[in-house]
């Protein structure tokens, strides 16, 4: 399926023919199919707004979703969307030209959220929270205008794991970005089909395909971001113990509420002992000693 260069989506034209790339591509496709199936992302009449920032992750997301749709494995309508947030120097023509060339249905939206963020966020503070809220609000609006049922984001496995540790270290809660979420209004799903895909795979894939990567200077120019600190910690763990990231990620799918401490998730007060007759009062079971 992946080797037939005469019958592929334009997004895969020029794909390397090396065995290494074919294995990489197959792994990413399988990871995405696994997430889509496991979290029941496909619904009848579905139409997805695929958010494209121009980074390696969103290019990978776009390519794999169109590959699956091309093969008849993803029976939903796809519309790519780039939200131009007015960042100085943003190459506004790159994505429209790329999407036209790739024959991808798309919408380019301009909203100057950059000026709002710069005006509202005090010097020395990170931009991410406000920037994300403004971006999310605009993407929900665009999805509704396009008649979409879901907003699809390019967060990968490492994003999800980093968010978990950020919440653990700084938020005092066990939470992360779920692969499937219903928005507060209840009219749109938010999907993350790359949930099982490693960041390194996205990086290798996008570079191998020579997609026109656009860096996010708004966030990347700031030093000392909490996410960067967490990433460095995880990089260190991974270096000392290869495969640690995947083990930790799998733990997010293997939660035992009875072995945590949240009484809202497990009814500790309902636990009762099963006492056998004549055992409780025997000396060897006298816990008052």
When divided into structural domains, the chain yields a total of: 1
Two tokens at 51? 């958010």
Q: Which residue has the tokens 């895909």?
A: 197
Residue 282 within a domain? no
In this structure, are residues 132 and 218 in contact, taking their beta carbons and an 8 Å threshold? no
Residue 68 within a domain? yes
User: Any residues with CB less than 8 A from the CB of 142 and at least 6 apart, and which?
Assistant: 49, 81, 83, 107, 109
Residue 5 within a domain? no
User: Any residues with CB less than 8 A from the CB of 85 and at least 6 apart, and which?
Assistant: 111, 112, 113, 114, 131, 134, 135, 218
Of 76-90, 114-128, 164-178, minimum mean pLDDT range: 114-128
Kindly give the pairing relationship between strand 189-191 and strand 180-182.
antiparallel
* pLDDT bucket at 174, cuts 50 / 70 / 90: very high
| Range 110-119 average pLDDT | 83
Q: Please state the separation of Cα 157 from the chain's center in Å.
A: 7
Q: How many other CB atoms are found less than 10 A from the CB of residue 151? A: 22
Residue 286 within a domain? no
Residue 279 within a domain? no
Give the full edge-to-edge strand order of the sheet including 150-152: 106-110, 77-84, 47-51, 150-152, 189-191, 180-182
Q: How far apart are CA 102 and CA 28, in angstroms?
A: 20
Residue 185 within a domain? yes
Query: What mean pLDDT is reported for the chain?
Result: 89
Predicted local distance difference test score (pLDDT) of residue 216: 65
68-107 pLDDT, tens digit each: 999 999 999 999 999 988 888 888 899 999 999 999 999 9
Label residues 240-251 b or e (16+ Cβ within 10 Å = b).
Answer: eeeeebeebbee
2-41 pLDDT, tens digit each: 444 456 789 998 899 999 999 999 999 999 999 999 999 9
CATH number at residue 152: 3.40.50.620
Predicted local distance difference test score (pLDDT) of residue 224: 45
The answer to whether residue 217 scores a pLDDT higher than 70 is no
Looking at the chain, the whole-number percentage of residues with pLDDT higher than 70 is 89
Q: Which domain holds residue 178?
A: 10-268
Predicted local distance difference test score (pLDDT) of residue 220: 47
| Range 216-228 average pLDDT | 59
Q: How many other CB atoms are found less than 10 A from the CB of residue 24? A: 17
253-281 pLDDT, tens digit each: 999 999 999 999 999 999 999 888 766 55
| Range 146-173 average pLDDT | 95
pTM score, two decimals? 0.88
Residue 89 within a domain? yes
Predicted local distance difference test score (pLDDT) of residue 276: 82
Torsion angle in degrees (nearest 10) through CA of 215, 55, 192, 138: 60
Residue 261 within a domain? yes
Predicted local distance difference test score (pLDDT) of residue 150: 98
Q: How far apart are CA 116 and CA 135, in angstroms?
A: 11
Choose between 132 and 284: higher pLDDT.
Answer: 132
Q: How far apart are CA 238 and CA 202, in angstroms?
A: 17
Predicted local distance difference test score (pLDDT) of residue 64: 97
| Range 218-238 average pLDDT | 76
* pLDDT bucket at 286, cuts 50 / 70 / 90: low
């Amino acid at each position: 399926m992946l080797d037939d260069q005469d019958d592929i989506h334009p997004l895969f034209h020029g794909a390397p023919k090396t065995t290494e790339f074919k294995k990489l591509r197959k792994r990413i496709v399988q990871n995405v199919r696994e997430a889509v199936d496991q979290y029941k992302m496909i619904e009848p009449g579905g139409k997805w707004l695929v958010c494209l920032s121009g980074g390696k992750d969103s290019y990978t997301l776009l390519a794999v979703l169109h590959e699956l749709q091309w093969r008849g494995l993803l029976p939903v309508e796809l519309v790519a969307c780039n939200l131009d947030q007015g960042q100085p120097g943003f190459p506004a023509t790159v994505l429209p030209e790329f999407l036209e060339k790739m024959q991808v249905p798309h919408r380019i939206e301009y909203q100057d959220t950059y000026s709002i963020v710069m005006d509202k966020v005090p010097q020395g503070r990170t931009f991410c929270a406000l920037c994300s809220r403004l971006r999310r609000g605009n993407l929900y609006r665009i999805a509704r205008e396009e008649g979409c049922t879901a907003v699809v984001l390019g967060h990968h496995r490492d994003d999800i794991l980093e968010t978990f540790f950020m919440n653990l270290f700084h938020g005092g809660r066990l939470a992360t970005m779920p692969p499937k979420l219903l928005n507060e209004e209840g009219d749109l799903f938010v999907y993350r089909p790359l949930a099982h895909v490693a960041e390194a795979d996205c990086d290798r894939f996008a570079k191998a395909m020579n997609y026109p990567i656009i860096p996010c200077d708004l966030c990347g120019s700031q030093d000392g971001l909490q996410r960067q600190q967490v990433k460095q910690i995880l990089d260190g763990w991974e270096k000392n113990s290869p495969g640690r990231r995947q083990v930790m990620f799998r733990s997010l799918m293997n939660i035992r509420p009875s072995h945590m401490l949240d009484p809202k998730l497990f009814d500790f007060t309902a636990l009762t002992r099963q006492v056998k007759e004549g055992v409780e009062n025997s000396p060897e079971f006298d816990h008052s000693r």
